[in-house]
Chain A
Amino acid sequence: MPAFDVANKIRDALEDLKAADLDDPRLMEVLSLAENLVDTMKMFFGAMDHSVLDEFKHIGSYIHRTREEIAALRPNDIHGSRIPTAGAELEAVVGDTERATESIMTLAEDIMSLEATDLETYKTQVDTAMMQMIEACSFQDITGQRVSKVVATLTHIEERVSRFSEVMGVMDADTPMTDKEKWQAENLLNGPQIDGPATGQDAIDALFDGETTEEALGQDDIDSMFD
């Protein structure tokens, strides 16, 4: 029962006692005092009830909104369908490029090992191998389409996660690296850069040929970041 109702009940009980027309005036004074106390309590608990109720209403609405936002993320769709499909597409890209490279390289090796004794036969063999190489290059069309699908999936996830993070006011938490991640961070390079090598072959050659110093190479690198 809310505190406000309890206070009302006590007040009613006090009114009944007063109406009983008791003889002892001190008892009447005590009852009046108790009545004042109950009124004060009623006001206090009444205000407190509203504030707690408002707080719970706010929490309830926040939980409801969070549930709606999580539903909008479509986590089951991402986990059950989009990510596995994207992974399968990337695996297929690796497989396609590997097979194409294998075919092209084998054909090139075959051409290099041909005996050019009979020119007519040699030309036919080279032409045939070249046509097969051209055919093998068609992998690019397929892999291009596969990569586009993966990019679309990443964009889909990125948009939803960003929106969720924005609506919920989420801050990035610090997550400790695993031992493997630490080893990789300390020992492996990041792989090819998007805009070509950070330090060009010419600059590296100049360093190894003694035409520039480590300091100068470093400075050029820093300068290029500001140019």
Chain B
Amino acid sequence: MAVDTNMPVLVVDDYKTMCRIMRNLLKQLGFNNVEDAADGAEALEKMQSGKNFGLVISDWNMEPMTGFELLKQVRADEKLKGTPFIMITAESKTENVIAAKRAGVNNYIVKPFNATTLKAKMASVLGDF
């Protein structure tokens, strides 16, 4: 089934510039329906408000709620647990990658990254587009 590029995508990052970069990269990839949140708590609130996000792309290091905690909360929520989730971080210690995978992350991107990497990881999670 073809990927619906009009689906809402939630970008979670406490660095506004990164949200803007993601918005531009996603726009280049054809995804124009992008929302952002400054931390896990704001993201969770947006997700629980009823909007059906087709993908969450989240940073790990955020306060007060980290991306990892957001991932665990999403996977524990009956309504949200199936939401595709990609983690993007500047640190990639093996134990963190493994912890994220065990918590149910669908893919993991190490910063800095480019549009090609982002597209490849999104395609591996959503299917080709």
**A-side interface residues toward B, CB under 8 Å?**
98, 101-102, 105, 108-109, 112, 184, 187-193, 197-201, 204, 207-209, 214, 217-218, 221
Interface pair A218/B90, CB less than 8 Å apart:
no
Complex-state Cα separation, A187 to B61, whole angstroms: 8
Least CB distance from B71 to A in Å reads 12
Interface pair B101/A102, CB less than 8 Å apart:
no
Least CB distance from B8 to A in Å reads 21
Within 8 A of A (CB), among B71-117: 89-98, 101, 106-111, 113, 117
Point out the residues of chain A lying under 8 angstroms from B93, CB to CB.
Answer: 189, 198-199
Interface pair A192/B91, CB less than 8 Å apart:
yes
Point out the residues of chain B lying under 8 angstroms from A199, CB to CB.
Answer: 92-94, 97, 110
Least CB distance from B127 to A in Å reads 15
Within 8 A of A (CB), among B12-40: 17, 20-21, 24
Interface pair A192/B94, CB less than 8 Å apart:
no
Least CB distance from B95 to A in Å reads 8
Least CB distance from A60 to B in Å reads 50
Point out the residues of chain B lying under 8 angstroms from A101, CB to CB.
Answer: 17
Point out the residues of chain A lying under 8 angstroms from B96, CB to CB.
Answer: 189
Least CB distance from B21 to A in Å reads 7
Q: Taking each of B21, B63, B98, B108, which has the highest tally of chain A beta carbons within 10 Å of its own beta carbon?
A: B98
Least CB distance from B94 to A in Å reads 4
Q: Taking each of A190, A193, A204, which has the highest tally of chain B beta carbons within 10 Å of its own beta carbon?
A: A204
Known contacts: A102-B17, A201-B117. The answer to whether A217 contacts B94 by CB under 8 A is yes
